[in-house]
Structure 1
Amino acid sequence: MFRREHFNAAHRLHNPAWNEEENARIFGKCNNANFHGHNYDLIVQLTGEVNPATGYVFDLKILSDLVKENVLDKFDHKNLNLDTEEFRTLNPSAENIAIVIYDILRTKISDAYDLKIRLYETERNYVEYPI
């Protein structure tokens, strides 16, 4: 089963261990010192046994509430580099954002369910975790 959500956030890809030229060469426009934003689409996938009493793998309302409280409320309309603890020292690449979201939700959802995160940074660019 899948739950699709959406959030908007700004970020800057930057490695403080590198000089400005190296950051610009590696990250290009994504290294803009004034940040840039994305309209992220998030798909949370849970796999598990169908509960015979409910007919659900997992209650979608509960999943929606978990995502809202633990992901959207943290990251939506935020500057990931400046406004969040998770990315204060972690480069907020799509890959790292997906891993952080996975780690947050994994602590809230029973290990009886397999969890996968798919994060679209653009219509054409997305990452999945775990692979």
Structure 2
Amino acid sequence: MSELKLGITRKEHFNAAHRLHNKNWSDEKNKKIFGKCNNPFFHGHNYELEVTIIGVVDPDTGYVIDTKILSDIIKEKVIEPFDHKNLNLEVEYFKERNPTVENIAILIYDVIKKEIPQHLELKIKLYETPRNFVEYPFGV
């Protein structure tokens, strides 16, 4: 079999609320920088997540990764902790970080990376809206 790398992608979806706010700034500065996203009563998004695993196809299984295993990892480590949650209040990581789409993508990457074999590469694409998304790491 070829030693060329390829990527396999799993798509998932979750809904979550958040508020963009820097506790070190005044309310006025927060409103100026974050606008409607600084609503003190929070606001929500329908996040679309693409998790791509990059590697060489295993000659025995024909897989880069078993997509059932990948699906289970995403459900346990991302969907269950984030879906229908207030990220600021219910996800410990965001008690000290602003839950921007950038920071959410970094957290998702970090928790999934710990669960997959080290020889595999990982790329996250997280859509906050159909027009706004993050790729992490970028350029992989």
TM-score, normalised with respect to structure 2: 0.92
What is the CA-CA distance between 1:26 and the residue it aligns to? 0.4
Runs of 4+ in 1 over 4 A off after TM superposition: none
The one-letter amino acid of 1:68's match is K
Unaligned runs of 5+ in 2: 1-7
1:41 is aligned, of 30, 48, 54, to 48
CA distance in structure 2 between the aligned counterparts of 1:90 and 1:108, rounded to whole angstroms = 23
Per-residue CA shift, 1:80-129, capped at 9, x if unaligned? 00011111111000000000000101111122111010000001110011
1:22 equivalenced with 2:29 (yes/no): yes
CA distance in structure 2 between the aligned counterparts of 1:111 and 1:22, rounded to whole angstroms = 42
CA distance in structure 2 between the aligned counterparts of 1:115 and 1:56, rounded to whole angstroms = 15
Aligned CA RMSD, in angstroms, stands at 0.5
CA distance in structure 2 between the aligned counterparts of 1:23 and 1:111, rounded to whole angstroms = 40
Unaligned runs of 5+ in 1: none
Larger radius of gyration: 2
Partner of 1:128: 135
1:8 equivalenced with 2:32 (yes/no): no
Alignment of 1:1-131 (within 5 A): 1-131=8-138
Alignment length, in residue pairs?
131
SS in structure 2 at match of 1:99: helix
In percent, how many aligned pairs have the same letter?
Answer: 61
CA distance in structure 1 between the aligned counterparts of 2:24 and 2:116, rounded to whole angstroms = 36
What is the CA-CA distance between 1:52 and the residue it aligns to? 0.9
